[in-house]
Every structure is written in C-alpha cells, then in structure tokens.
Amino acid sequence: MQIIRIYDGKCDLRWQNKNVFRTTERFLKKYPEEYKRLYDKNLQTLTLWRCDELLDKSLDGEYYLDSNIITYIANSALGHELFHVASYDSEKDQLAFGGNLGIGNGLLEGMTEYLFMKAFDLNGPGSYVLEVFAVAMLSDMPDLFKHFFIPDHNGFINIFPNRKEIYNLLLSVDSYNKEYLDLISGDKDREDSVDMNDFRKHIRQMFDNLISIELSVEKDSKKLKEFRNKFMDLLETPYIRYTINQFYPRYCAYAEKQLRERILKR
C-alpha cells in the first residue's frame, strides 16, 4: 500500500474533498442536532490517507477507530467512511453494534452504506448489498438511526420486542458479511475457506430472521402485506437481484414461499 497524500487539519480536509463533506453535512442536518455531535467532534482530529490500494483488497476504504484515520482510494469510499466517523464515540470507545462488542459488524456496514446511499442520492449500494437490504427492511423501526449516531447498544436492542430475533439477525448478517468479504478478497486461501453451503444458509437465515422480526413487531394484516411487497420489490432491484443470482439464484422463489406461508396466511 502506497500513501499518495495525507490530509489533516479541518480546513485542509474540507477544502480538498469539499463536495464529499458538503453532501455529508447537508444530509446530517436533516436529523436532530445531537445526531451530528460525534461527527463534529471526530472531525477535529481526523486524518485522511489517500492510497493507491489498501492492504485488504476487498475494501476501498477503512476507518481506524483507535487513531481516527480514514484510508481510502476514491471519494466514493470516503463518503461511506465519514458515516463511520459520525457513529463512533471515542470517549467511551463505543458503537451501537460491531467493533469491540464482537457482534453486529455486518449490520454496522449495512447501515453505514444505507445512509451514504441516501445522502448522495445513489440508486444502489457500491458494496454491502445484502447488508443494506437488511437495513432497508428495518428502516421503518422508530429510532433505528438514533442509536447509530448516538451509540447505545442496549437502546438499539430494546427497539425490538424480541431480543432473540434481533441477535439472530446480527449473527446471520455477520456470518454472511465475513464470508462475502473472503470471497471477494482476491486471496485464494480466504476464498477457499468459504463453505458455499454455509454461505447460502446464512443468506437464508438473514432473510428468515427479517421475517421473524416483522412478525414479532407487526400484527396488522394490511401492514404485513406491505412488508411482503416491500421485501419482494427490494429483491427485484438490479443490485440485489445480481448478488442473489450470483450466489443463490433460487432464493427469490424461496423468499416468496416463506413470505406467502408466514406473512400472507396469517
């Protein structure tokens, strides 16, 4: 990895990458002021390393919590990493999920990419496709993003009436996320370590868990039907359809069957 340029100091950061910062900050202003507190605080000591490539070739950007440094290749990756900056409480060394909690890294990446997509008005995620799908299906939960910007793991878990179901989702998204990154790493040993049957099982578990969460939250048949329609509409979007067909082309038929039996027949 060769470092092309180091940016440090608040003025230099914003001047050299002004469009990325401007778009991120305009989006954050849509939320309550307290949601932007960690972003403003971390920005004061943030350093950017623009690189030709990263050590982990499955990534094009990374945020190092302990040193408050972003390494990145392109500005599109920088935008994603700035939402990591906005979600980390350095004083408490705390995230809502992922990091030193040991669970939730997959959903953390999905939520970060989901917010980045919304901020930059993108048609789909550049990465973490199924992780973003999971967040999109949870996005109607009240205060879902509050606990991302104001890290509170217990607060996040308590949004959901069934703690077991949300922990099952966190675990299944983590398992999928780790194995997907291994598959695209360009490292033959990492690629060969993935059992594709287990990988497909984690995709099924992730989506089954989303259905279980909805059933524990919602009892109204009309809203359950809306959930089913949203689920299938998202599966038909090109970026999700491509990922599903790449690894598990029969999943859409499986999902339709599960939704029909578990949602529509209630």
Model confidence pLDDT, tens digit, residues 8-21: 555 566 666 788 99
Contacts by 76-79, CB closer than 8 A, 24 or more apart: 76/126, 78/17, 78/20, 78/48, 79/20, 79/23, 79/24, 79/116, 79/119, 79/120
**pLDDT for position 57:** 67
Residue pLDDT, tens place only, 157-191: 999 999 999 999 999 999 999 999 888 888 899 99
The secondary structure of the chain in percent helix, strand, coil, rounded to multiples of 5, reads: 60, 10, 30
Cα three-residue angle 107-112-115, rounded to 5 degrees: 120
- pLDDT on residue 2: 55
Domain segments of the chain as ranges? 1-86, 100-266
Alpha-carbon torsion angle 159, 130, 67, 93, nearest 10: 20
The Cα–Cα gap between 262 and 48 comes to 47
Res 101: pLDDT: 75
Is 88 a residue whose pLDDT tops 90? yes
Q: What's the 3-state SS for 149-189?
A: HCCCHHHHHCCCCCHHHHHHHHHHHHHHHHHHHHHCCCCHH
pLDDT at 217 over 90: no
Q: Which two tokens stand for residue 95?
A: 């995230």
Task: Report residue 107: phi and psi, to 5°.
Answer: -70, -35
User: What span, in angstroms and rounded, lies between the C-alpha atoms of 99 and 88?
Assistant: 10
26-54: pLDDT as tens digits: 999 999 999 999 999 999 889 888 887 77
The helix (H) or strand (E) run that includes residue 135 is: helix 129-138
CA separation for the pair 78, 60 (Å, rounded)? 9
pTM of the complete model beyond 0.85:
yes
Backbone dihedral angles phi then psi of residue 86, each to the nearest 5 degrees? -75, -10
